[in-house]
Structure 1
Amino acid sequence: MVAIIIGLIFILIIIVVVVNAIQQQKQKQEQEKRAKLAKQKAIIDENEELIVNLSNIPASPNLALILHRRSLTAAKEMKNLSPESKATSARVDELEARLNAAKDAAQSAGSRDEQFLLPDNEKQIIALLQLIKKLRVVLKSELNKGMVDPQIFSMEDKRLDSMQLKINIESLVKRGNQAYNNEMVGSARQYYEKALQTLNDHPVQSEYASQKQAEITEKLSEISSQLKSANAEDRKKRAKAEEDELDMLFQPKKKW
């Protein structure tokens, strides 16, 4: 009898352990599912922000298509993870409609003019650079997943790289001009030198780069001539001061 009781207790312990293990496994799976859903939702939210901000740069229609397709892929993954969710199914339908609309828009519109004005606000300039960097990261990620044609990636990445270079150079030149106009010649020279070095280090030497290199080199030459002239004037003044001091020292002493 005692043996039977002990056996039942042992079986009960095993059942409890097994049930706990199953519950823990279910909890783990549920946590992993929530994490995957959150990751896909974050991708969709990031794409939404990027798509809205595309209006701030001369973006190609290809970029909008890539972002819309990325969002749709993420939504479909969410639907696979949670097929019972009506909200997710509706989101998939919505994003499919958006992608189709983006395809139609891409067929009827070309690339925007690449000439755009640099914002006056420093925060806006930083925001543009951050936008371009994020877009390049997304493009590279989609290429690695096989979701972007290598030729399209190369073309779009070069466009974004060119924009990033222009924003950096125009910002540095603008700061240099402001410093020069405020007679802060040393600071102006530093901004111009940094801009020139950035252009020289860039792997792609475009017509824009050549034009800016010539323009900045001329500004640096003007500053160099101005500094030489100022130094020569300073030397003349110091020499005159020393000469006056010697004259005062060796002039005949007055008798009182």
Structure 2
Amino acid sequence: MGIIFALIIALIIIVVVLGAIQQHKEKVQREKRTKAAKQKAIIDETEELLLSIANLPNNPHLVLILNKRSLNAAKSMAKILPDDKPLIKRIREMQGRVSTSTSDTNHETGEQIFILPDNEQQLVSALQCIKKLRVILKSEQSKGNVDVQTFAQEEHKLSAMQLKIGVETLQKRGVIAYQKEMLGSARQYLEKALQTISESPIQTEYCLSKREEIQNVLDDITSSLNNTNAKDAAKKTKTEEDDLDLLFQPKKKW
């Protein structure tokens, strides 16, 4: 009887231990999947940005930074999933892209002019892309993957493009409102454009010329508003005079 009882106890212990081992294995697998999914999300986001920057001026240094980001994420993923053969193949492809990007940075031409797209949706997409790039650039610099000089140069380029999109968009809307004689709205748009320029930490030649250009339009709007107010005042005075004339004119005798 005692042997049977001992066997039952031993069986229960084995079941509990096996259950605990299985739960631990499942927990480890879940953690691996979570970590792998995080790295895959980084790769997917970076690959999407590499496609999006085709609409921005050619920038080999930024392409290199993004390619290295994808490669680092893929290597981290490979440590989690060492038996993933397609991933190993992809890493080799990414290494080739990094080598090509590195070569491109050695043959970089002068800084290109950023031409804004006419389409509103494309403009919004470009702005979203630039904002994401600035966040990623800062993140990679904090990880030690981008040196201080490269970070400063690329941050300056992205900041200048973001500023240009904001200023040009506000100016365009202000001019359209002015043409429609919506003087109050026009002034608000243009004043916001000037504020955007003033808040920029780096004042370039573009900022100086654009400030003068927008200020000239604002001066025209102010002049138009003054003329409109003068005309309204004159019209109001004339109406009041007519009312007085009507009130005090000699009464007709019937």
The aligned counterpart of 1:157 is 155
Give the alignment's Cα RMSD to 1 decimal. Answer: 1.3
In the alignment, is the contact (CA less than 8 A) between 1:196 and 1:216 conserved in 2? yes
The aligned counterpart of 1:254 is 252
CA–CA distance in 1 between the matches of 2:10 and 2:122? 69
Name the CA shift for 1:214/1:232 in 2 (closer, same or farther; >3 Å): same
CA–CA distance in 1 between the matches of 2:135 and 2:5? 63
The aligned counterpart of 1:210 is 208
SS of match in other structure, 1:108: coil
SS of match in other structure, 1:244: helix
Tell me, which stretches of 5 or more residues in structure 1 are unaligned? none
Query: What is the aligned counterpart of 2:119 among 94, 98, 121?
Result: 121
CA–CA distance in 2 between the matches of 1:178 and 1:107? 44
1:82-108 CA-to-partner distances (Å, cap 9, x unmatched) read: 121110110011111111111222222
Tell me, which stretches of 5 or more residues in structure 2 are unaligned? none
The aligned counterpart of 2:132 is 134
SS of match in other structure, 2:106: helix
Query: What is the aligned counterpart of 2:221 among 208, 220, 223?
Result: 223
* Range that drifts further, 117-126 or 154-163: 117-126
1:119-164 CA-to-partner distances (Å, cap 9, x unmatched) read: 2222111111110011111111111111111110111011101110
The aligned counterpart of 1:148 is 146
The aligned counterpart of 1:92 is 91
Give the CA deviation at 1:59.
Answer: 4.0
The aligned counterpart of 2:45 is 46
Structure 1: which amino acid aligns with 2:126?
A: L
In the alignment, is the contact (CA less than 8 A) between 2:114 and 2:161 conserved in 1? no
TM-score with structure 1 length normalisation? Answer: 0.95
Give the CA deviation at 1:110.
Answer: 2.1
The aligned counterpart of 1:22 is 21
Structure 1: which amino acid aligns with 2:218?
A: L
CA–CA distance in 2 between the matches of 1:246 and 1:112? 70
Q: Does 1:33 align with 2:32?
A: yes
The aligned counterpart of 2:234 is 236
CA–CA distance in 2 between the matches of 1:22 and 1:9? 20
Q: How does 1:187-198 map to 2 (within 5 A)?
A: 187-198=185-196
Give the CA deviation at 1:111.
Answer: 4.7
CA–CA distance in 1 between the matches of 2:89 and 2:110? 31
SS of match in other structure, 2:57: coil
Give the CA deviation at 1:60.
Answer: 2.2
Identity %: 53
TM-score with structure 2 length normalisation? Answer: 0.96
Give the CA deviation at 1:4.
Answer: 2.2
CA–CA distance in 2 between the matches of 1:107 and 1:116? 22
1:207-232 CA-to-partner distances (Å, cap 9, x unmatched) read: 21122222222211211111111101
Give the CA deviation at 1:109.
Answer: 3.0
CA–CA distance in 1 between the matches of 2:170 and 2:60? 29
1:38-70 CA-to-partner distances (Å, cap 9, x unmatched) read: 111111111111111112111421100011111
Q: How does 1:165-204 map to 2 (within 5 A)?
A: 165-204=163-202
In the alignment, is the contact (CA less than 8 A) between 1:61 and 1:110 conserved in 2? no
In the alignment, is the contact (CA less than 8 A) between 1:199 and 1:213 conserved in 2? yes
Q: Does 1:4 align with 2:20?
A: no
In the alignment, is the contact (CA less than 8 A) between 1:60 and 1:110 conserved in 2? no
In the alignment, is the contact (CA less than 8 A) between 2:78 and 2:88 conserved in 1? yes
